[in-house]
Amino acid sequence: MEEIALDNQLKSDLIDYIVSLDESVKSRNTVKSYGAVINNVFKSYKVLNKDTTKQMLKRWGKRTKIRAVLAKINEYFLYNDINYIIRLPKSKRSQRKIPDIISREQLKEVLDKCQPEERLILSCIFNFGAGLRISELINLRWENIDWSMWDENNKIISAKIVDSKGGKSREVPIPHFTLAELYEYAQKIGHIDENGIPKKGRIFDFGSEGYKKELKLLNPDEWESKYEEKAYDFIRHNIINRRFKSIPNKHITAHSLRHSRASELYNKHNVPIAKIQQWLGHSDISTTMIYVHISTEKDSKLMEEVGGV
């Protein structure tokens, strides 16, 4: 078979396979990103063949999950005994670049120049457990925190990070001062109920009320995906990129904040690597080891303790 027709029935069956049968795709965000690419493929092309595959890779290769989607189409064909294989060229894996990290002192200097809400957003990204991803910050909800457990005798409570990367959830501790700042913020925006507990809903709102109202009514799932993209871009460009550009010789991203937090926990506070792995939400501890930038100072102390013969 030299080509496959890209019709609505194939599109529907493919999406159903990814959502219902493919156990490797668990995250809601991954399903959404796959769906967006599939929609573009079926909208732009009538058939799948050697030429259109090349066009897709050239057109979307560096900006989307097109390779992953084409691989999923191959899996679907194999599962359904369809005699067609998409031949994908080997991709050259670039060496993984470790993000720059910053000290707590540098972070405090940046926070002191931020507007109150910006400061709280960056504080949450850095302080929750071993650091949050931007997508986790966007989807953070007041009810994810068990406020009923927070008092003078129980200053450190946890937040549940729900449906994160890979569809996983985890619990992370929150410092007392961050909890106090969040509660003060809830009071400021009038989000406290009659029992003195923050009401349900997203903690941070990035213009959701007026954003694509018609789409929100007609297709809530698509609206949710587009809103998250909008919020992600706002945080990345208007807060992180803008506020951290003043740090010389470093390119600081949200990922940098997680690396900085994990390194601080390990090097300065001796938090076990397994606990940092749990707080970061990593399945494999080797991924966590990439996050932990072991200082030369700690190397020296370790060797001093170990000694020799």
pLDDT tens string 128-162: 999 999 989 999 999 999 888 887 777 788 899 98
Q: What percent of the chain has pLDDT over 90?
A: 47
Q: How far, in Å, CA of 23 to CA of 8, rounded?
A: 23
Specify the pLDDT at position 288: 86
CATH of domain 104-296: 1.10.443.10
pLDDT mean over 219-246: 89
Closest to 244 in 3D by CA, of 153, 67, 122: 122
Mean pLDDT of 218-230: 85
Angle 242-248-252 from CA coordinates, rounded to 5°: 50
**95 — pLDDT class (breaks 50, 70, 90):** low
What is the Cα–Cα distance from 31 to 18, expressed in whole angstroms?
A: 8
| All structural domains of the chain with their residue ranges | 4-79, 104-296
Average pLDDT over residues 178-199: 93
How many C-beta atoms surround the C-beta of residue 277 within 10 A? Answer: 21
CA distances from 197 to 70, 138, 228 (A): 47, 21, 26
- More confident: 249 or 29: 249
* Residue 90: pLDDT band with limits 50, 70, 90: confident
Least trusted range by pLDDT, from 30-34, 68-72, 214-218? 30-34
pLDDT per residue as tens digits for the range 5-30: 999 999 999 988 888 887 776 666 67
Is the pLDDT score of 185 beyond 70? yes
Q: How far apart are CA 53 and CA 257, in angstroms?
A: 38
Residue 307 has pLDDT above 80, yes or no: no
What is the structure's pLDDT at 300?
Answer: 59
Using the predicted structure, report yes or no on whether residue 205 has a pLDDT greater than 70. Answer: yes
Structure confidence at residue 286 (pLDDT): 83
> 2-6, 167-171, 284-288 — which one is most confidently predicted on average?
2-6
Conformation bin of residue 281: beta by default, left when phi > 0, alpha when psi is -120 to 50: left
Contact in structure between 122 and 114 (CB atoms under 8 Å): yes
For the chain, the average pLDDT equals 86
3-state secondary structure the chain: CCCEECCHHHHHHHHHHHHHHCCCCCCHHHHHHHHHHHHHHHHHCCEECHHHHHHHHHHHCCCCCHHHHHHHHHHHHHHCCCCCCCCCCCCCCCCCCCCCCCCHHHHHHHHCCCCHHHHHHHHHHHHCCCCCCHHHHHCCEHHHECHHHCECCECCEEEEECCCHHHCCEEEEECHHHHHHHHHHHHHCCCECCCCCECCCECCCCCCCCCCHHHHHHCHHHHHHHHHHHHHHHHHHHHHHHHHCCCCCCCCCHHHHHHHHHHHHHHCCCCCHHHHHHHHCCCCHHHHHHHCCCCHHHHHHHHHHHCCC
What confidence category does residue 297 fall into, taking pLDDT thresholds of 50, 70 and 90?
low
Q: Whole-model pTM above 0.75?
A: no
The residues facing 154 across adjacent strands are 151
Q: Look at residue 278 in the predicted model and tell me its pLDDT.
A: 92
pLDDT score at 182: 95
- Note the pLDDT of residue 13: 92
